[in-house]
Structure 1
Amino acid sequence: MPDNAVAENVLGTLGTVCWMVQLLPQVWKSWREKSTEGLSDYLVLLWSIAAWFLGVYAIVQDLNVPLIIQPQIFGFLTLLSWAQCQYYGRKRPLKVCVTLFATIMLCQAGFEVGMVYAVRPSFRAGNIRGTQFFGIMASVLLSLGLFPQYYEIYRYREVIGISIPFMMIDLLGGVFSALSLVFKPKFDVIAGVAYSLVVVLDGIVILLALILNPLARRRRQRAAAAFPTEEVPVSEASMNTVHDVAE
């Protein structure tokens, strides 16, 4: 397919918009419920670290501006969600959570600046292996990040804690970003793999929510009918997630 700078930037911008707002439903959900039960803090932490590597890769590769901005926003929002997990889930003091958030953000900035200056000269000299390492590491971390979340789903036998709108917007961001690469003069395989992994792995979570959450709701209804005088334990997060899926 011939390169098309307009299509590349339009699709890249759409991906950026999705990834600017993707985690807002998750952050809002956690704040509203004052709970991150069912949301793996390892998921958002590993995704936050993946943004470090993806940021270096995008800058050194000189991808379009929207795709350079994406990892920075992605890293900020995933780290914010991780801080919520520390505060609501692990019951750490607010000051500790704010300090951890600020410290890791500074580490991300320092890491990206240092690595860009370290890798860019070799990349311009024609040695792309160093740059490819950062793209591959981003893909690996994005993939690994969802496995702890899959364990949470297995443990609860339904999708709770994680916002389904967050997953859907994240998936769309991956679709638009991957499509933007098609219109570059040369398709970036590593970036394409990273974005495609986001689409596939998010899609699995959404599919599991559509399958498991109605089953879990029916299990609770049968239990309530079988023992009408007994209170059937169910977490508020679980019920809210069922509501989110329905919406």
Structure 2
Amino acid sequence: MKQNPVAENVLGTMGTICWTGQLIPQVWKNYRAKKTVGLSPFLMLLWGIATMFLGAYSILQRLNIPLQIQPQLFGFLSLVSWGQCLYYDPGRQDRKRSSIFITVSTMIFIGALELMLVFVSRPAYERGVSAPITLFGVLSIVTIAGGLLPQYWEIYIRKEVVGVSYVFISIDMLGGLLNALSLAFSTEFDPLAGTAFISVVIMDSVIIFAAIILNPRARRRRRLQAATTTAEIEAGAGAGVRMDDSVAQSPNTAPYDGATEKYDHEIAERGELPSLGVGLDINRPSSASIRSKGGDIGATGDAEGSGIEDVIGIHEDEAKLTAGAAVRPSQGDGNQSTVSSSTIVGDPNSERG
């Protein structure tokens, strides 16, 4: 492409601006959400390490001041985002101060290493040895590009893109594209820098395409799971209601309360109707009747005796009336015969009137 210094400077400046603050949206997103789920911490850590080599490269090459400042800001924001991954990690909520200390210590350590690389490599570079500069450039490219691989793995595991700011990815792609175009208008194309810029654009675009394809599928999958769960809950609740109704309507499902046996025992103790519990089962009141007359009889097994006695008295009256109706009136004085209790219970030695 034809050399154009104006286009080179304009595009280069715009690309530098994009790559200086492209991580601000990501840092802001992490801060507002108070979580970094889906964002790979290794991505940010590797980018922070990469700026050590990129910063040394730009300083040794004596690039313009904005290009020397850009790697420093990029590395700082990368490590801030990495520190947020540690700080908001659910497993480290009791070690937040430790997360801050680790982040600040890492920043100081990487800055010290970058300064050391500059002072150690400058004498050799001034003597015409360019191998250190080339090595720093290659390492920065490999580390920046390789930093996106952990993010790809995070996307593969979750089957969707979450936790990543699309504004950040878009600005990062735009910065790489503008920087690559600025090299195209320069007097000499730098293949090393061009490879770095183009690789960033390609690898960022993979994340965008993954979000376009995977995120709608993930939303449909969650809606289907929610609908299935709701249907199962409603079906279970309906089955429970039907079961409760059937239990309430069935007389055979009432819990054993011992009311009938309690009634027979009271009869036997009083000795008034000794055969009532065995010989006259048809006349024994039902367990439900005993419970209704005797209050809470059978619910705890220790009901008050007054309830039982009331039921016994009622039943005795019914039995006497039934037996009396079966005795014929006497032929003498027209009065009805007096019937003893032994006649009621069927004593063979009793006398009829």
| Equivalent position of 2:27 in the other structure | 27
The runs of at least 4 aligned residues of structure 1 exceeding 4 Å deviation read none
Bigger relative CO (Cα 8 Å, ≥ 6 apart): 1
| Equivalent position of 1:199 in the other structure | 201
| Equivalent position of 2:10 in the other structure | 10
The amino acid that maps onto 2:22 is: Q
| Equivalent position of 1:149 in the other structure | 151
8 Å CA contact retained: 1:224, 1:230: no
What displacement does 1:2 show?
4.7
Question: For residues 76 and 8 of structure 1, what CA distance do their matches in structure 2 show?
Answer: 27
Correspondence 1:1-247 to 2 at 5 A: 1-89=1-89, 90-91=91-92, 93-229=95-231
| Equivalent position of 1:242 in the other structure | none
**C-alpha deviations, 1:190-232, integer Å up to 9, x for none?**
121112111111110111011100111111122223332469x
What displacement does 1:3 show?
4.2
- For the residue of structure 2 that corresponds to 1:227, the secondary structure is helix
Question: For residues 190 and 64 of structure 2, what CA distance do their matches in structure 1 show?
Answer: 12
Q: In structure 2, do the counterparts of structure 1 residues 2 and 82 end up closer, same or farther at CA, with 3 Å as the change threshold?
A: same
Question: For residues 154 and 68 of structure 1, what CA distance do their matches in structure 2 show?
Answer: 36
> Which protein is bigger by CA-based radius of gyration?
2
Q: In structure 2, do the counterparts of structure 1 residues 175 and 187 end up closer, same or farther at CA, with 3 Å as the change threshold?
A: same
Question: For residues 136 and 50 of structure 2, what CA distance do their matches in structure 1 show?
Answer: 9
8 Å CA contact retained: 2:15, 2:176: yes
TM-score for both structures, normalised by structure 1: 0.86
Q: In structure 2, do the counterparts of structure 1 residues 69 and 17 end up closer, same or farther at CA, with 3 Å as the change threshold?
A: same
Consecutive unaligned residues of structure 2, counting only runs of 5 or more, are 234-353
TM-score for both structures, normalised by structure 2: 0.62
Size of the alignment, in residue pairs?
231
What displacement does 1:149 show?
0.8
**C-alpha deviations, 1:127-181, integer Å up to 9, x for none?**
2111100010111111211111111101100001111111111111111122222
Question: For residues 142 and 149 of structure 1, what CA distance do their matches in structure 2 show?
Answer: 12
- For the residue of structure 2 that corresponds to 1:106, the secondary structure is helix
Identity of aligned residues (%): 48
8 Å CA contact retained: 2:21, 2:74: no
**Structure with a larger share of its residues in helix:** 1
Q: In structure 2, do the counterparts of structure 1 residues 2 and 124 end up closer, same or farther at CA, with 3 Å as the change threshold?
A: farther
Consecutive unaligned residues of structure 1, counting only runs of 5 or more, are 232-247
The amino acid that maps onto 1:222 is: L
What is the root-mean-square deviation in Å for CA atoms of aligned residues? 1.9
8 Å CA contact retained: 1:36, 1:85: yes
